[in-house]
Amino acid sequence: MLTSGGDNSSSEVFAYQAYGNASSYGGYTSAQATAVPLRSFSREGHMRVILIDSATGETAWLGDAKTEGQGMVNVTDSAFQSSLAAEVVEVLADSSHFP
């Protein structure tokens, strides 16, 4: 059983990119510009891992998993949690502790 919780995400503006144009006609000049903020995203996800003995229904193993990421792409909560869950399952399946 995998349960998620304690996820955190944040973003901050680290720069601005400006777009604009200018035109000149008959001695008159006009210009227009727009500044677009560039954001960096940080995300942290936590997951509780509970392995249950199918014969007894008792908890056989309990663990925690955590993942972190940073970049310019804001990954959705479901994608972030799915990625962590898939990695946890893969690591446990490859472990010699759980044949």
Rounded to an integer, what distance in angstroms lies between the CA atom of residue 20 and that of residue 22? 7
pLDDT in the model for residue 93: 85
Mention every residue, 6+ apart, whose C-beta is less than 8 A from residue 23.
29, 30, 31
Rounded to an integer, what distance in angstroms lies between the CA atom of residue 52 and that of residue 1? 8
pLDDT in the model for residue 98: 67
Torsion 49-83-42-74 (CA) sign: negative
DSSP reduced 3-state for 95? coil
Q: What is the DSSP string of 16-59?
A: EEEEEEEEEETTEEEEEEEEEEEEEEEEEEEEEEEEE-TTT--E
What residues pair up with 24 in beta bridges, in sequence order?
29
Average pLDDT per 10 consecutive residues for the chain, totaling 99 residues: 78 91 91 91 85 89 84 71 83 80
pLDDT in the model for residue 74: 66
